[in-house]
Structure 1
Amino acid sequence: MKVLIILPLIVGIGFGFDKTISKEKGATGIDLPEQEWKLPPAMQEDGYVDESKMPKNSKYTEMVVLGNKILNETAKYIGPQAKDPKMRYAGNNLSCSSCHAAGGTKKYQSAFVGIWGRFPLYRARSDGIDTLEDRINGCMQRSLNGKALPVDSKEMKAIVTYMQWLSQGFLVGAKTKGQGLIKMPLLDRAADPKKGKIVFEEKCVACHQADGQGLKNPDTNGAYYLFPPLWGKDSFNTGAGMHRELKAAAYIKANMPQGNPDLTDEQAYDVAAYINSQPRPVKAGGEKDFPDKRVKPVDAVSGPYPDKYPQKQHQFGPYKEMLK
């Protein structure tokens, strides 16, 4: 069972306390129909770009291919495995594709298809307008537990160029079917880590191993992990979207176990709770996220909160009574 390490660079589940205020702050005035999913002809099933189908001797092609490789083999290019110590911006050995599967080309796995035209946009986490580069660096500091990549660096430009290439032909401001995560019904009970442990043992250990530390790739030409660690020092930190119950459950429900997603809603919620009950790096300054507490997601793990509900309920639910 290969679980997302959310970068979710996409606008996914983000229940806020006051949906009206959240919608007002994010309003763009753009009213376009949702677009159909499509991939460029040079995009392969494995998430790599077929260079033989790209323009020859093109600087654009060069940057698209580099951006794609950075996302699929992040640790090698901008992480702990980079030959140049100055390029080790990511703090763990995950790849962006650990979450955004196959270079961000799989539906409901926080895909990058069409995403270039969605930014800049309002994000509650910063309570401001974020650029695509801002969003990428949010993942660098949270899901990859590292530091920001310089906006003017070749690597950042390559990542953005690749995302623009994936978004060719899509209308600016329009959403695309398959972006983000699926919508899941809320449970009437809290997610149960103890039940989740049973689900993990039955459904997840074949890939992520009994200790949750994943499986390394014996091929040094690919990603560092075949299946990423779900907790521990080489996993995402507490500031990542995957550390939120609603996001994690939605990703797991749609995609796990890999190749045969057959979990019930309750199993998805419970195993997400189990995974996020395990130790992992702590993101400093979590209390500063979501400056406007009125639009802070109900499943945000770190306080403060603008309500009467305890931290445990914010982490595991039940959430129905918490939403306006």
Structure 2
Amino acid sequence: METTKVQRYKRIISGTLCCMLLLVLVAGLETFMLLFKEPSTNKTVSNASATQQLWKPPPATSIPGGEKGNSIVYGQSLIRETAHFLGPKGSVLQISNGMNCQNCHLQAGTKPFGNNYSLVATSYPKFRARSNGVETLYKRISDCFERSLNGKAPDSTSKEMVAIKDYIEWVGSQVPPKEKPLGSGITSLPFLTRAADPAKGSKVYKQQCKSCHGSNGEGVKDDDGIAFIYPPLWGGESYNDAAGLYRLSKFAGYVKYNMPYGTDFNAPVLKDEEAWDLAAFVNSQPRPHKDQSADWKDIKQKPIDFPFGPYADNLTEEQHKFGPFKKNHQ
């Protein structure tokens, strides 16, 4: 009887040890696989920055009542439907090219990584190297009208300008000073080790962009011809060559997490190289020109991908437009 008990205990102990050994082996194998796993070339933001909270715009319920609230709501409408109010057939003024502000600032400036307004409320007034001076938010809005909308800015005292300012400030009102939340603005992609290639970008455009923006980048207008459903990417009705998106780094970062239409940071469609090449193709096409002789008076402050000289280095305009940038400007 005692012998039988001893044998039973031995079997139990032996089985327990075998299970423990198996668990150790499995854990070791998983660790080995993680160490030698091939890194992903198309990480999502949620995987790469799981510990940082993604920025969200304030809820509509936080819009105050009264005159200020009415101004914010009107400003939101102006951002969403700029062309209906301020385009070539605008009901208030005719001062812009027919695009809407939210064609570039997606979801009325509230989409994560969609060129949103999250940082504006705590950033302005601020010094900007492009103008070599301290700029107010009114100046920043004026630049958008004159560059991205290729038009004229509303008067700074106008109901429309004040409303746009009030709305933009409200969008970023819950971001603490000096904080940069995940999802603010536009993502920054790593520089390529080669020049961005318009020919390769043309192929990407045909595969991913042509169905919405047209064979000639002309976009698609609504039935009444007042505004664009899909904005023009080049041509006379598109942004001019002084707009921020004319810089390849801005365009590439913008399309990475937003295009084709419906894309977001959780499931990017374009590889980094495709985003850069697409930027090179689109920004090689004809578009309105704006005099920029007053910009970047301190040429040492020019961004590496600003495509107009003079420069503080010996690179050509073509190199500054298409790269490669990596060896020259980390």
TM-score range, shorter chain: 0.7 to 0.9
2:293 aligns to what SS in structure 1? helix
Matched, 1:103 2:121: no
CA drift of 1:303 comes to 1.1
The two structures have a TM-score, normalised by structure 1, of: 0.80
CA drift of 1:106 comes to 0.1
Counterpart Cα distance in 1 of 2:310 and 2:150: 22
CA drift of 1:301 comes to 1.4
- For the Cα contact (< 8 Å) 1:63–1:161, is it kept in 2? yes
- For the Cα contact (< 8 Å) 1:35–1:174, is it kept in 2? no
Matched, 1:190 2:195: yes
Q: Which has the higher helix share?
A: 2
Q: Give runs of aligned pairs for residues 250-269 of structure 1, distance below 5 A.
A: 250-260=253-263, 261-269=268-276
Counterpart Cα distance in 2 of 1:112 and 1:280: 26
Q: Write out per-residue CA displacement over residues 181-214 of structure 1, whole angstroms, 9 at most, x where no aligned residue.
A: 1121110100010111111001111111111111
- For the Cα contact (< 8 Å) 2:63–2:72, is it kept in 1? no
- For the Cα contact (< 8 Å) 1:287–1:302, is it kept in 2? no
Q: Which residue of 1 aligns with 2:17?
A: none
- Give 2:228's match in structure 1, choosing from 225, 228, 247: 225
Counterpart Cα distance in 1 of 2:276 and 2:262: 19
The change in CA–CA distance for 1:287 and 1:303 in structure 2 (over 3 A counts) is farther
Higher relative contact order (CA 8 A, sep 6+): 1
1:321 aligns to what SS in structure 2? coil
Q: Which residue of 2 aligns with 1:308?
A: 314
Report which of the two structures shows the higher radius of gyration computed on alpha carbons.
2
The change in CA–CA distance for 1:197 and 1:171 in structure 2 (over 3 A counts) is same
Q: Give runs of aligned pairs for residues 119-268 of structure 1, distance below 5 A.
A: 119-218=124-223, 224-260=227-263, 261-268=268-275
Counterpart Cα distance in 1 of 2:60 and 2:111: 15
Q: Write out per-residue CA displacement over residues 202-238 of structure 1, whole angstroms, 9 at most, x where no aligned residue.
A: 1111111111111112378xx8111100000000000
Identity %: 42
Counterpart Cα distance in 1 of 2:326 and 2:63: 49
Q: Which residue of 1 aligns with 2:302?
A: 296
- For the Cα contact (< 8 Å) 2:56–2:112, is it kept in 1? no
Q: Which residue of 2 aligns with 1:12?
A: none
Counterpart Cα distance in 2 of 1:211 and 1:38: 35
The change in CA–CA distance for 1:40 and 1:316 in structure 2 (over 3 A counts) is same
CA drift of 1:114 comes to 4.1
Question: Could you list the runs of 5+ residues in structure 1 that have no partner in the other structure?
Answer: 1-33, 44-52
Counterpart Cα distance in 1 of 2:172 and 2:244: 23
Q: Write out per-residue CA displacement over residues 232-258 of structure 1, whole angstroms, 9 at most, x where no aligned residue.
A: 000000000111111111111121112
CA drift of 1:89 comes to 2.2
